[in-house]
Structure 1
Amino acid sequence: MAFLGAAVRWPDALGLNAEEILAKWQPHLPSPLSELSPDLLFSILVSFTVIVLLTFIITALQARHPRAIAEHATAEKGSTNRKRRLKASDTPLTLLAGPSGVGKTSLFSALAFNSVPSVHPSQRESESLINLAAPVSTSNEKDQFSSQQQRNVLLIDTPGHPRIKDRIIGDYIKQSDVIVFCLDAKEALRGGAGLGVAKEGSLIEAVDHLHQILIQLAKSRRNAKSVPPTLVLLFTRSDLSPHLANVSLSSMSADESKRRAILLTRARTAVEVELGRRRAGMGFGARRTTKVGGMSEVTGGSSNNSLLSSIFGIFGFKSNRQGDGSAADAGQHEEEDEEVIDYVDWDVLERTMSSPSKNGIGLSAGTSLERLDSDIVEGGKAICAFASVGKERGWDERSVDGLDELRRVLLKV
């Protein structure tokens, strides 16, 4: 025999009487509300509470995920009213970055002390305020810089050890006005010549480091309003490359400038090809839908739990639901739903994605150091140059002509 009982309303179960509460407070309300019936007034209060709660949740979600409401493709580029240009009297912060063994510390010593002593791989950063003077022109033509032009530059040398480079560069990348990324010219020219894949620890390691810096720079400048830093790709140790053995880095003659430009294009192309391979593995800004090794995860199966986890996270709660193919903890797989940050101009990106080619060559064709995102890199392109400090080592002061091109670049910023 079934036992049936009278239906119990939730206000009765809680010991609340909405009519008594409203009758007590309604006389104190303004005239339009005091004349309403208790049931209608109660409905208005409930509706108002729901609307306020939904508004708060939507606003909080948008604040936690700004990419959903501010797409990179629709951002205005080149808006000069929100950017501060460096003046000639300012002191730009110049960051020397790159893998170990490419001559960053020797380059730092040549600029800071006018000498190139024997050095060992750095384990911590070094900084120096240097007075940078424009090189004297060595050609009969008028140089674009006069010999009296000079500027103070705060130069910071960062170690390239894999275990500490990311932490140290992350401390300076947001404040940097110029990022000078150093690569071995010999390895870059060998890779550009198509003589095979560069061995591990040379061009591949350098491009991996450059790729990580560009990604980190893109993330740090997502909502930045200041002018982006200038990116300089400096191919160092050029005196050790057989391709540059008879090329003068300080001469401004037309023939020498043409030879340097040809070799510089060759080295830059090698870097662009390697960057294109890494961007091909990124998915060109598309959202990742699956994860290799995640056998229990189904594409799109955790969308509801992700929304609930975001809502619970606003109030400080965590969702630990399991068993339906979703992640045990939304925070462990947050990267799967995040948009991959890209640093190449989106117009070029769309043309590359529409290309019928499916192989790695076609995917890397859109990677160009002259078509970077102008919100990430100043001018939307990287400046490339050769550099050499020579083979002499010692604390004796001497003129290093192999850095004339770098000096000209730093004086332009």
Structure 2
Amino acid sequence: MYEDRTRGLFLDWTRPHDCAPINDTEGNCIKKIAFISGPALGHVGRLYEIAKKLVRRADVEITFYIADYTTTAEMVIGNAFRIKKIPIPAETRHHPFEAFADGIEKCFQHDNVELIVHDGCPLRWLSTTRFPDCPRVFVTNAFLTGHHNRDTFQSRWFDKPVHMKINHLRAEKGLPAISSPFELYDADKVILADARFLIPRASQFPEHFHFCGPIHWGSRGEIPESIANLTDHCIISMGSTGKRNIERELLARLRSMTGCEKFIYAGRQASDVKNAGLIEYAFEWLPLDQLYSHAGFAVTQGGSGSTYQAIAKGVPSLTFPTHINQEIFGNILEKAGLSVCIGLNDNLEKIENFDIDSLRDAARGASLKMSGNGAIRAAKHLIEMI
């Protein structure tokens, strides 16, 4: 039995006898690894970057497991790895933990995995899952774990009656009750995909928590011809989750603060933004890595992927969060002098209190501290587990 760090999540599991180890042409055993991802682009992209680094350094076979209603896995992963879709009925998508647990447990009865790696909200997706007896690694952000002393979306959601259903389902499987969602932010090894210098030293983390540095999807692709030659523009990246309206007043204040005349929007509300005549250039997706190289400023929703991409390129930013977790990250960045965070209840006048030159200097300084090797460090931690 593998050491249990997670209050009984690892229980005895009888695997079918026909699940024999895979061997390569030279007779070496190939380890089978399960990568379980939440549906958001940031989670899929982060795991994909780790998977790419891992297969170059170890004899492994990786399968991605993700909810069936999202196409982000196909968009990011393509044919690089096997993808298994877990059926989630439409009526359960708000509380998918039961359906996802049923589906993933059935997969594990046939897939003889030797390591599980997951990234995504464990409360929504894995809180009632009974894992097989193998090591498990959780990829997440430091400010979500409970060791950073922040009230998160998960802690607020758990305070609702949903926690009673979760514990009822756990009891049916012989799993112990949980009294806090932060109990789910643990595993045999926890990889924190953050820049350590941003997280207050007062935050204490257990020895099996490891800062690996930011990990984000290095998306590549064709830049639309209409924006290919733009420079010193402002990129507004609002991600694949959440919703918050872009207002004319915000754009006017940004134009005054940054000096940027051209705005480029990337996010799920692209058609609404364009139809409203707010921003001329609006797309659901763009290769941000390439665009940030010529950007003068960035607005992000506070997702760690697009935000760390901007910091890595030395681009100053404003954080415009769509929910509380993103606001937490935005406040961390603001305290470090790297961003202005317009929280969910903040007035846009807050923008006027910040100096753009100071933001630019801080962003350039932070970019020098970020190595870009987060996915490689994470892959090395996984190799230690197999």
Same fold at TM > 0.5: no
Relative contact order, higher structure (CA 8 A, sep 6+): 1
- TM-score, length-scaled by structure 1: 0.30
* Larger helix proportion of the pair: 1
Task: Give the TM-score normalised by the residue count of structure 2.
Answer: 0.32
Q: Which has the larger radius of gyration?
A: 1
- Structure with more of its chain in strand, by fraction: 2
